[in-house]
A = this chain, B = another copy of it.
Amino acid sequence: MKINVSIFGVSGYTGTQLVSLLVSHKNVNIVGIFGNKTLGKNLKEFFPHDSNIPDIKISDYKKFNFDTCDLVFLCLPHSQSQLLVKSLKSCRVIDLSADYRIRDEKKYKIWYEKEHLDKNMLKNFTYGLSEINRKKIKKSRYVANPGCYPTSVLLPLIPIFKEKIVEEDSIIIDSKSGVSGAGKNPSKEKLFFEINENFYAYNIEKHRHLGEIEQEIKLYKKSINITFIPHLLPISRGILSTIYIKGNSKKFVRVQKFLKEYYSNDMFIKFMPSGKVPSLRMVNGTNNILIGLFQDFNRKNIIIVTCIDNLIKGAAGQAIQNMNIMFGFDEKESLILKRTNP
């Protein structure tokens, strides 16, 4: 079985990554690629030295007949998807932007500091955290693909709050991301000279991804205070999140046992052997999340360390995983990747 897929936006890092994974998917025909700035160019131009890229022109979506298109991926800058979705009535949609992740329009306004332009659709989107919402995703027409930081944080946390393994009402998340998370739009802050040999925390007092993290955790644990501080690493890819939850040795053993069992059938969720630390090199180039569970020296805290490739598990890979779930394909199709370190 093959489905017809089209993609909005291929010039950004997420869109490029999506195409490079999708072209080898055995159940996918890429039938349309749309872009304003790139209109008329051949897709091959963006991947000049890759084999497998289909010979397809970037076209104007307004002239495209979506009747035979089964699925649309939106890889557009934030706030552009909300102008488009209503016009894509005949096909399913996976939106990789942040536009439909926050279901409550008031919360959207708090986090994004403007009115949402497609409020009625907000509730129709499923939050596409593959392993957690698999059943719902399977039945969804609209999927909002999670943010990269939330993916690294929610996968270990939701199960332990959902099943009340942990009942702490306070949690600290110290995350570190490579620069590709910030996108390809040129700005002084993203220049090589400014990032190289540097490191800093940013958006300390307000980062939009906290909105997603709070929304999803509070589904299972109403009263909780979440502190989330992101930092910028001088590397291209990868997110490492260090998560601190109060808990003694007994609680730690319980969390460890529970999480491993909970995810025992999920091939993209991997646990480090006891005492071994995960690293970004171990996941970059894959759709895996790698989880290490530790206690601090004084056995008062549980430390969860997670690593993902922000462009794959944190974006394009999870989007394909969601497509695989929605259409009943093998969930790992086109997602078993050979890593080339680094």
* Chain A residues at the B interface, C-beta cutoff of 8 Å: 13, 20-21, 24, 48-52, 170, 172, 174, 176, 179-180, 184, 186-188, 190-202, 204-207, 210, 225-229, 231, 233-238, 240, 242, 244, 246, 267, 270, 273, 275-286, 288, 290, 292, 294-298, 300-301, 303, 305, 307, 309, 312, 336-342
Q: Could you tell me if B184 and A186 are in contact, using CB atoms closer than 8 angstroms?
A: no
Q: Could you tell me if B244 and A172 are in contact, using CB atoms closer than 8 angstroms?
A: yes
Q: Could you tell me if A297 and B198 are in contact, using CB atoms closer than 8 angstroms?
A: no
Query: How many monomers of this protein are in the complex?
Result: 4
CA of A200 to CA of B184, assembled, Å: 20
Across the interface, which residues of B come within 8 angstroms of A285, CB to CB? 340
Q: How far is the CB of A211 from chain B (nearest CB, A)?
A: 9
Q: Could you tell me if A282 and B205 are in contact, using CB atoms closer than 8 angstroms?
A: no
The answer to whether residues A240 and B200 also contact, given A13-B193, A51-B336 and a CB cut-off of 8 A, is yes
Q: Could you tell me if B225 and A300 are in contact, using CB atoms closer than 8 angstroms?
A: yes
Across the interface, which residues of B come within 8 angstroms of A307, CB to CB? 200
Contact of A236 among B276, B296, B342 (CB under 8 A): B342
Report 28 cross-chain contacts, Cβ distance below 8 Å, ordered by A residue.
Answer: A48-B276, A49-B283, A50-B339, A52-B336, A172-B244, A176-B176, A184-B191, A186-B190, A196-B196, A197-B235, A197-B236, A198-B281, A198-B342, A199-B235, A199-B279, A200-B240, A201-B305, A204-B292, A204-B294, A207-B297, A225-B300, A227-B244, A228-B296, A229-B242, A234-B235, A236-B341, A237-B342, A337-B338
Across the interface, which residues of B come within 8 angstroms of A197, CB to CB? 196-197, 235-237, 280-281, 284, 342
Across the interface, which residues of B come within 8 angstroms of A196, CB to CB? 179, 192, 196-197, 234-236, 342
Smallest CB-CB A-B distances: 6 pairs: A197-B342, A200-B279, A192-B195, A186-B186, A174-B174, A285-B340
Q: Could you tell me if A301 and B176 are in contact, using CB atoms closer than 8 angstroms?
A: no
Q: Could you tell me if A296 and B227 are in contact, using CB atoms closer than 8 angstroms?
A: yes
CA of A45 to CA of B296, assembled, Å: 26
Contact of A225 among B200, B227, B240, B298 (CB under 8 A): B298
Q: Could you tell me if B204 and A305 are in contact, using CB atoms closer than 8 angstroms?
A: yes
Q: Could you tell me if B234 and A192 are in contact, using CB atoms closer than 8 angstroms?
A: yes
CA of A239 to CA of B305, assembled, Å: 20
CA of A270 to CA of B49, assembled, Å: 8
Across the interface, which residues of B come within 8 angstroms of A300, CB to CB? 170, 225, 227
Q: Could you tell me if A303 and B52 are in contact, using CB atoms closer than 8 angstroms?
A: no
CA of A337 to CA of B20, assembled, Å: 11
Q: Could you tell me if A21 and B198 are in contact, using CB atoms closer than 8 angstroms?
A: no
Chain B residue nearest to A197 (CB atoms) is B342
Across the interface, which residues of B come within 8 angstroms of A228, CB to CB? 296-297
Chain B residue nearest to A211 (CB atoms) is B297
Q: Could you tell me if B205 and A295 are in contact, using CB atoms closer than 8 angstroms?
A: yes
Q: How far is the CB of A106 from chain B (nearest CB, A)?
A: 16
Q: Could you tell me if B235 and A204 are in contact, using CB atoms closer than 8 angstroms?
A: no
Q: Could you tell me if A297 and B244 are in contact, using CB atoms closer than 8 angstroms?
A: no
Q: Among A13, A197, A233, A276, which residue has the most Cβ atoms of chain B within 10 A? A: A197
Q: How far is the CB of A17 from chain B (nearest CB, A)?
A: 8
Across the interface, which residues of B come within 8 angstroms of A288, CB to CB? 49
Q: Could you tell me if B227 and A339 are in contact, using CB atoms closer than 8 angstroms?
A: no
Q: Among A21, A270, A298, which residue has the most Cβ atoms of chain B within 10 A? A: A298
